[in-house]
Structure 1
């Protein structure tokens, strides 16, 4: 019997990359050329990332909008509304907490220390890879075409066009899975080595673990609130619902994949008394569209970075960012780090340029297991709510007869 090959989770790879980067950056005996080479390679990868982001928007968001926006009945609309509303509430709640809590440990002195640190090494050269079109153009095009295809499908047309963009999305997803995701640990290593070399890394890391703990606590509070509401609305014991969800939470945390947790979560939904038709419909759908946990993590990370670098931050700007991101993350690939990759095109909305991508990715993916676990846990709370609505509607129809 062959032994099962061990595959290191992406989050663990990133932790190792961060630690190694910090250590190597402290090697004062290394010549400057080594760090200049790191900076060059990091810059090339960053250029490729910037180049593929607009293509990612087109390839992933168009099929998502075209398929989800098609009129498929009342239950689809209710599920979409609850899932999107939950994601928005999670993001807004997180911002309100983080914007008041984080300044306690992200002080002005700390922000000044990070900003006044050395600039690190200088790249030897760049390849000058420019995006084929801007992020804004990609967003407008994706929404216009996605909604257009959805309308065409109501007219019995548009399937060919949808197939083209679906296949293009698969090509983009392949590029993410075979190039971007595998190279992320190397990219993170280069960047943390540069931060360590410049002297800013320890100030950043002093914030890192506090943001992680805050995000995990917020996940727990928010998902508990969802189950309390679902239990109250559906006439079920919220504590029992949460206990039943433990296997789903552990599966999601271990795999970092909402898709991989669907079979477990469907069985949990049925155990919670959700009808089979609703469990089979809501759980797989919400695995794609309900991203409250990811939103909590991303909002925490973005707020922390803005404060660390003394950048302006406002409720209005963050809500706009959260609203757009709640839609865009539907395009997140079913792989570790998918949500933050889908969020990168929208970071400029809050003032975070491409130079902050590596820090956002690092902070996010090391917490991705907890965000994914929160996502799928909330899916079953939504299943209880939708099933309650479904059963009430059935009872009304029965009473009319």
Structure 2
């Protein structure tokens, strides 16, 4: 008996946006309100549940992300983790500050959409009812507790203990919750949001903004690869363009699978092709697939600032540096699923940027559009970073 092929989540999201735009526009033309309000009710309940899950997600994934770093040993682990964090923070910082400089020329600020975000009840229809569901802890508490637990677990001599096993099981529960409940309902949620915006007449501006942001994100992801391989080429005295071309199979694989983990066999093989020692490739490939995500960090950072701009939210320099600093850590917490990066960053955007339900939903939709190129950027840059780690280790050995 032939098995049915599942529709990819990205396609479901695209279909949800298109359906929401078409139905919302049609209902607006005939002034039919109740279907939009039914979806608005579902959206409110879904967003409340999502806010409840976010601290649990951060607690589970950051704890295990830090704890699992303790499975490596020696100077190479510290060097690899340090370079991965610097890489993520540097490139997302470069993208964000470049975006801020170019923002006045992009036509994203102001307009009717800003008024809609300032006074959503004047533009968007509300649901029939809502159910309060306060999170068990706030985002900052979850993050600090995760650091305490994760660092504590790395200090234990053995991973075979009740606390580690319990944290691992808890992570599995949250991962299944996201995979089997949140992600399947996400297309319906996005359909409702775009239906509501289309009904209010603001969808056209949002779609044009999404295209501008997508092009900017992809441009900086490509720039990240050129800079990384340029640096690796200088450190190894090899042609950076040839190195990048030899890692390209990993890029294509990640683009298709949208998973760093699924790309590990190809990534490791191409690392050895560009000259990474097998021992270093064996160590860095799985490690970098979990902690080195400059492509996804760029996507989340630019999306956050673009939505803040169109919603008229003033982001201070302190919050800008805070986002850059936190994204390097948040990427460790990101679940290994499509869209995991934006889900992990939701709490920070709600708490520090003041993002509303509508802005969070738009951020999720936009991040899913750039997730394939972000993942491809991550795994390809892993090859350059492995070469950099190897070059530094060799230099230290010669200096002895």
TM-score scaled to structure 2, two decimals? 0.93
- Match of 1:364? 367
Offset from partner CA, 1:83-111 (integer Å, 9 cap, x none): 00000001110111111223212143465
3-state secondary structure, aligned to 1:366: helix
1:101-116 to structure 2, matched below 5 A, reads: 101-104=102-105, 105-109=107-111, 112=114, 114-115=116-117
- Per the TM alignment, residue 354 of structure 1 is displaced from its structure 2 partner at its CA by 4.2
Separation of aligned partners in 2, 1:207 and 1:157: 47
Separation of aligned partners in 1, 2:112 and 2:384: 40
Offset from partner CA, 1:149-201 (integer Å, 9 cap, x none): 222x14x5883211101110000001011011111111111111111112221
- Per the TM alignment, residue 297 of structure 1 is displaced from its structure 2 partner at its CA by 0.6
Cα gap change, 1:31 to 1:157, in 2 (>3 Å): closer
Gaps of 5+ in 2: none
Separation of aligned partners in 2, 1:76 and 1:289: 12
Separation of aligned partners in 1, 2:341 and 2:301: 12
3-state secondary structure, aligned to 1:310: coil
Q: Which has the larger displacement, 206-215 or 192-201?
A: 192-201
User: Does residue 351 of structure 1 match 2:354?
Assistant: yes
Q: Which has the larger displacement, 347-356 or 256-265?
A: 347-356
Gaps of 5+ in 1: none
- Per the TM alignment, residue 388 of structure 1 is displaced from its structure 2 partner at its CA by 1.6
- Match of 1:197? 199
User: Does residue 142 of structure 1 match 2:146?
Assistant: yes
- Per the TM alignment, residue 325 of structure 1 is displaced from its structure 2 partner at its CA by 2.1
- Match of 2:43? 42
Q: Which has the larger displacement, 11-20 or 365-374?
A: 11-20
Offset from partner CA, 1:242-280 (integer Å, 9 cap, x none): 111211111111111111111000000000011100111
Cα gap change, 1:59 to 1:276, in 2 (>3 Å): same
Q: Which has the larger displacement, 181-190 or 126-135?
A: 126-135
Separation of aligned partners in 1, 2:294 and 2:5: 30
TM-score scaled to structure 1, two decimals? 0.93
- Match of 2:253? 251
- Per the TM alignment, residue 213 of structure 1 is displaced from its structure 2 partner at its CA by 0.5
Separation of aligned partners in 2, 1:263 and 1:70: 20
- Match of 2:12? 13
- Per the TM alignment, residue 211 of structure 1 is displaced from its structure 2 partner at its CA by 0.4
The total of aligned residue pairs comes to: 394
- Per the TM alignment, residue 15 of structure 1 is displaced from its structure 2 partner at its CA by 1.4
CA contact (8 A) 1:110 1:308 kept: no
CA contact (8 A) 2:88 2:297 kept: yes
When the two chains are superposed, the root-mean-square deviation of aligned CA atoms in Å is: 1.9
CA contact (8 A) 1:59 1:172 kept: yes
- Per the TM alignment, residue 133 of structure 1 is displaced from its structure 2 partner at its CA by 2.0
CA contact (8 A) 1:50 1:354 kept: no
3-state secondary structure, aligned to 1:367: helix
- Match of 1:73? 74
Cα gap change, 1:71 to 1:271, in 2 (>3 Å): closer
3-state secondary structure, aligned to 2:35: helix
Q: Which has the larger displacement, 12-21 or 142-151?
A: 142-151
292, 295, 298: which is aligned to 2:294? 292
Separation of aligned partners in 1, 2:204 and 2:345: 26
- Match of 1:56? 57
Cα gap change, 1:150 to 1:354, in 2 (>3 Å): farther
Q: Which has the larger displacement, 355-364 or 175-184?
A: 355-364
Offset from partner CA, 1:92-143 (integer Å, 9 cap, x none): 1011111122321214346546547742212111122221222222122111
Separation of aligned partners in 2, 1:75 and 1:149: 20
- Per the TM alignment, residue 241 of structure 1 is displaced from its structure 2 partner at its CA by 0.8
User: Does residue 314 of structure 1 match 2:316?
Assistant: yes
193, 208, 211: which is aligned to 1:209? 211
Cα gap change, 1:161 to 1:200, in 2 (>3 Å): same
